[in-house]
Structure 1
């Protein structure tokens, strides 16, 4: 009885959400001009807190459907595999072999298509680590680009693994920030205390960006 009641409430909630999306029209500003109204047939409503939650639910469902039939992730613990890392609408799929990655990519693309989402082939990249296999990963017969290095949210990832590339990049950016303030360091008008504070806020923060995580 309790299960039946829960399912009924879930159906009612789903209908309420669906009704709130039916018949949505939108206008956008382009080139300083407001466009004519047009129907919104895909996606979620902008500036709606519920939209974020709905999208995360959808992505979670896609990954559950894509990974439920086999173990194609990397071994994370003795009893658990890690299939993907998610941030907002970005997915980083993880697999041990090229074949596993191809199967997972195909499954994610197929599951996404069933709910009206498409994987962007131009934005989907492959980064290989510690593997000799160079067979391409494809979506709908189109090869995805292989990268030697990639930067995501300020963090540098490369095919060598580890943090050497990221540390080198941060040092380079901090050096650039330091040299841009050469006049500050040579100034006779500023106290040492003020100079140190500027160094901490304008250079040190660049060097340590992302180090907390």
Structure 2
């Protein structure tokens, strides 16, 4: 019989600090560069992850200024809700000169990160197998899928495919917090993610659909 799920405030607070301060890895290095073995080791590993925009913020800031973000509202509302990602928001989402884009948790970090990025797919708005559009390109009305939140967010802002931006500007940090027979970290993962969101206001964690 496995142990009960535990709540550990020390683990939660120290993990949040680690995620804010620990060294990040460029997505390009993690998937196709020197950190590929590290990426493979995340298969089946549970934990919390953070996507960051690193380096020059000019492209991101200019695109945000040109393209107001839009979200679906509650089911009883037909029109989209325009969301202004202002400079105050970007400053609040910035930690050590990197902008927090998205925070998440998973019981399989490799699979979840891969789903966010669809790194080898040029156009996620097309169903390649059936050669048809899954949604209007870069649309705010409909998502091409429900698992690529990071990439969908970037492509909606840039109104363009984002693999190039991801390779040049997106990094990731993570913490493995496995479930074991003695200590189940499911509770802690939930609150680490929640606290990271409340501390760093990641711009793609906003959801007003429900």
TM bucket (normalised to shorter chain) is under 0.3
Which protein has the bigger helix share? 1
**Normalized against structure 2, the TM-score is what?**
0.24
Larger radius of gyration: 1
